[in-house]
A and B are shown apart, each in its own frame.
Chain A
Amino acid sequence: MLFNKECKKILLSLTFWIYSILVVIMFAENYYSEAKYPISKPAKGGSDYGLMVREDPELIMEGASASLMSDFASNRYVCYPYGFYKAVSLDKEDRDKVEEYVTEITAWDHDEILKQIDSADVYYMEHGFSTFPGYEFESVNIDKNMTYERYKEIMADIDDILGGGSAYKVDTLASRYSLVPMTYEDAVKEYEDSISEDTVTGSLARLFSDYTGIDLAFIPVFAAAALVAADRRRKMTELVYSRNISSLKLTFIRYGALVAMMFIPVFLTMIAAAIQAGEVYGDEPLKMHYMFTTTTFWLLPELMVVTAVGMFLTEFFSAGFAVAAQGAWSFLSLMSCGDKLSGNITKFCLICRHNTLYDRSAFMETYNDFVFNRIFYMVLALVMVLAAAYVYHLKRGGRFNGIRLFGKGSLFRRKA
C-alpha cells in the first residue's frame, strides 16, 4: 500500500525525528513539569485568592474612560496591533473625533475637558530617548444616559481609529478594566468546576493543548517541506512525475501519511499526560477520554493546516519559503492571539490559548468560536491540499515550474 510506503519514508527521514524529539522535549519542559502539581482546594481564610474577570459595565466604563482621558490628554495611545508595540499619536481630525466621543461619554464640553486635563496629576514617562507626559485621572464623569451597548460601540470606533490592538478593543475591555478579587466562594467554585465538570482531565487537556498547540503551529512545516522537496533534492522529480498515479491521489496519500506520522509523537505525549494525570489524581473519578478527545479536536486541525500550507507553499515556491512563511504566520498568531493566555479564543486565530488549569468558564464562553475555529482550519487544510495537488499537476505536465524567489533560476536572479 502506497500510504504505508510513504509513512515508512517519513519514518526514516531525519526531519521527522527532529520534529518528534522537539515535540517530546517541549512536552516535558512545559506541560509535564507543570501538571505534576495537583489542583488543590483553596484554604478558607486565605488573604488572596487571585483575580477574576467579571463583566461589570460600571467598572468597565469607569476604568476605560479614565484610561481614554489619560491617553487623549497626552495624545499617545499604546497599541499592540498583531501583538507588536506601537505608540499612536492622532492627527487633528482623528483627535477631534475622539474628543467628540469623550464628550459623549463624559458630557464634558471642550472647555471642561481642558479644565480636567489641567487639573489632572501629571507624571513623566521615559521611552528610549524621549520623555512623555502622562495624566492620571482619579475619576471621570460618565453621562447618565450612556448605555453599556453604546459605550461598546464608541470603544470599537476608537479602536478602529487607532488601528486596532488598543486598550479599547471591545473583546478585552472586561479583562482589562473589570478584574475583581476572587472571594473564597469564587475560588471554591472554580476548583469545583475543574473537579466536577471537567473531572480535572478537561483542565489538563486544555493546558496540554495550549502548550502543544504552540509547537504544532510551526514545527510540522519542516517535515512537510522536507517531504515535498525530497523528490527534487534526490533528483527524482521526473521519475515520479512520469508514473501513472494521479496528482490528486499522490498528494493526498503523502499528506495523509505526513499528518498520521506527525500525530504519533503528539499521541504518545497524550498517553504520557494521561498516565501522569492518573498518578497525580489517582483518588479522583477521572474522565480520561478528555485527554484524547479534547486534545485531538484541538490539535489535529492545527497539524492538518500547517502541514497542508507547508506542502502547498513548497510546491508553489520552495521549502525555504514555506518555512519562513509558516514561521511568520505562527509568530503573528502567537503575538496577536496570545495577549491573553485564557478566555481569548477567536474564530480565526491559528493558535488557541488556554494556559491555565482554571478558568473553565472563560473557555466555555468562547466554546462556539473554538469549535468554529477548529472546523474552519480543517476545511482550510483540505482546500490547501487540493491547491497543492493542482500545482503538482501543473508542474508535472510542464505547464508551471513553481516560483523561486531566491537561489538558482529565481525570479530575482532572472531580473538581475
Chain B
Amino acid sequence: MDNSIIIRKMNKYYGRKQALFDIDLTIEQGMFGLLGRNGAGKTTLMKTLAALHKKKDGKITVCGVPIEKEREIRAMIGYLPQDFSMYPNMRTDEALDYLGALSGIPKDVRKKRVNSLLRKVNLQEHRRKKVKQLSGGMKRRLGIAQALLHDPKVLIVDEPTAGLDPEERIRFRNLLCEVAEDRIVILSTHIVADIEASCEQVAIMDSGRILWHGTVSQLLANARGHIYSANVEKKFIDQIKREYIVTGILTQNEYTTVRLVSEAEPDLPNTVLTDPDLEDAYMYCLTKGGEE
C-alpha cells in the first residue's frame, strides 16, 4: 500500500491568476512541514490536497488514489482549516458527533471515537461545554480531534498554532507528533519554531513555488558558513539592516549583537561565523531563492 502523497507538475489558477506553479513534491509518512511567509501559497496547496480546490493541471495522488476521486480522498484526509470554527452553541462532544455523522461513521463507533479523541486532546472534562466557551487552544485541540475522527491516513493542518500561547503551542505540537506516528501529517505554518520542533521533512514555499524541499538537517547544512553575528554600535543598525538580511538583534548596553545572513564574511567589527538555527536557514533559503 502506497503511503505517500505525490505531486507532479501541478498548477493552480484563481481565474486568470496563477496561484501555484509546477509544484513537484513527495510527502512520506510522518511529520512534514510546509514553511513560507503569508501569501506564499501554502493554504492553496493544502486545500488542493484536501480536494477543496481544483488544480489546473499536473498530477496528485494521495496514498495511490488520484485527487480527482474526491470521495475517496475525503475519506482518507483529515483537515484542520486555518480559520477553524464550529457551531458555537453546540456542546464539544455534540460538535464532534455531528462532524462524525457527516463523515459517515456509524453511531456506536462514533461514540467510542469521540470519547477516546476527547481524552487524547485533553478535552474530556470540557466535553459538556459549548464550543463558544472553549479557549483558543482548546478549540485548536478540538480541531485536531475532529480531523482525526474518521481515522484518516493523512492529516492536513493549516497554520494551527497562530495565536496560541507558548504552552498551548508546545502541547499542540506534541499532539501532532503523536498522531504522526502512523500517518502523514502536513503542518503548514509560517512559524519556523513549530517546524523545528516537530518535523524532519520540510518544504519551503514562496510566491506559489516550492523553493526547497528536504530534511531539516539539510536545510541547516545549506546555511552553514553563511550566518554571522557581530557586535556593533546601535547607530549602525539601520545601515546593516539595509545591506544584510538580519535575523536577530540583541541589545546589550551601548553595543548590539546582530545576527545576519551573508554569502561572504561581512565587513563589520567583531564578526563571528555562527551555527545557523532553522530560522536563519529559512531566511538564507529565501534569499537564495531555494538554490543550494
Interface residues of A (CB under 8 A from B): 1-2, 5, 9, 12, 230, 234-236, 238-246, 250, 396-399
Is the Cβ of A242 less than 8 Å from the Cβ of B77?
Answer: yes
Q: Quick check: B70 and A397 within 8 Å, CB to CB?
A: yes
20 contacts between A and B (CB under 8 A): A2-B101, A5-B98, A5-B101, A9-B87, A230-B87, A234-B86, A238-B47, A238-B81, A242-B77, A242-B79, A243-B74, A243-B99, A243-B103, A244-B71, A244-B104, A245-B102, A245-B103, A246-B71, A250-B102, A397-B54
Instruction: Identify which of A1, A9, A242 contacts B52 (C-beta below 8 A).
Output: A242
- Kindly supply a per-residue 1/0 record for chain B positions 68-90, scoring 1 wherever the CB is within 8 Å of any chain A CB and 0 otherwise: 00110011010101011111110
Q: Which residue of B lies closest to A414 (CB)?
A: B15
- Beta-carbon nearest neighbor of A12 in chain B: B89
B51 at the interface (CB under 8 A from A): yes
Of the candidates B75, B85, B86, the one whose C-beta lies within 8 Å of that of A244 is B75
CB atoms of B89 and A238 under 8 A apart: no
CB neighbours of A242 from chain B (8 A): 50-52, 74, 77, 79, 81
Contacts of B259 in A (CB 8 A): none
Chain A: minimal CB distance from B90 (Å): 8
The distance in angstroms between the C-alpha atoms of A230 and B86, with both chains bound, is 10
> Nearest chain B CB to A9's CB is how many angstroms away?
7
Whether B146 sits at the interface, judged by CB under 8 Å, is yes
B9 an interface residue at 8 Å Cβ cutoff?
no
Query: Is the CB–CB distance between A240 and B102 below 8 Å?
Result: yes
Bound CA–CA A250/B74 (angstroms): 15
Q: Within the assembled complex, what's the spacing in Å between the Cα atoms of A235 and B83?
A: 7
For A230, the closest partner residue in chain B by CB is: B87
* CB–CB B71/A398 < 8 A: no
How far, in Å, is B271 (CB) from chain A's closest CB? 48
Are the CB atoms of A244 and B102 closer together than 8 Å?
Answer: yes
Please tell me which one of the listed residues B52, B88, B146 contacts residue A397 in the complex, with CB atoms under 8 A apart. B52
CB distance from A397 to the nearest CB of B (A): 6
Contact assessment for A244 and B103 in the assembled complex, using a CB-CB cutoff below 8 Å: yes
Is A239 a contact of B99 with CB atoms below 8 Å?
yes
Flag if B104 contacts A236 (CB, 8 Å): no
Complex: A36 Cα to B86 Cα, angstroms: 48
For the complex, give the distance between the alpha carbons of A236 and B50 in Å. Answer: 15
Q: Tell which of B48, B77, B79 touches A239, judged by Cβ atoms closer than 8 Å.
A: B79
Q: How far is the CA of A397 from the CA of B107 in the complex (A)?
A: 27
Q: Cβ of A244 and Cβ of B74 under 8 Å apart?
A: yes
Q: Is B53 at the interface (CB under 8 A from chain A)?
A: yes
Cβ of B150 under 8 Å from chain A: yes
Residues of A within 8 A of B81 (CB): 238-239, 242
Q: Check if B74 sits within 8 Å of A234, measured CB to CB.
A: no
Q: CA of A5 to CA of B99 in the docked complex: distance in angstroms?
A: 10
A246–B74 CA distance with the chains assembled, in angstroms: 10
The answer on a CB contact under 8 Å between B87 and A396 is no
Distance to closest chain A CB from B71 (angstroms):
7
Please state if A244 and B89 are interface contacts (CB–CB under 8 Å): no
Per the bound structure, the CA–CA distance linking A399 and B70 in Å amounts to: 12
A241 B52 Cβ-Cβ under 8 A: yes
In the A-B complex, list the 7 residue pairs whose CB atoms are closest, starting with the nearest: A398-B53, A243-B102, A235-B85, A242-B79, A238-B81, A2-B101, A398-B54
15 additional A-B residue pairs with CB within 8 Å, beyond A2-B102, A234-B85, A241-B52: A5-B97, A230-B87, A234-B87, A234-B88, A235-B84, A238-B50, A239-B79, A239-B81, A239-B146, A242-B51, A244-B74, A244-B102, A244-B104, A245-B103, A397-B70
- List residues of chain A with CB within 8 A of the CB of B87: 9, 230, 234, 236
User: What's the nearest-Cβ distance from chain B to residue A17, in Å?
Assistant: 13
Closest to B87 in A: A234
- Nearest residue in A to B107 (C-beta to C-beta)? A1
* A397 vs B52: C-alpha distance when bound (angstroms): 5
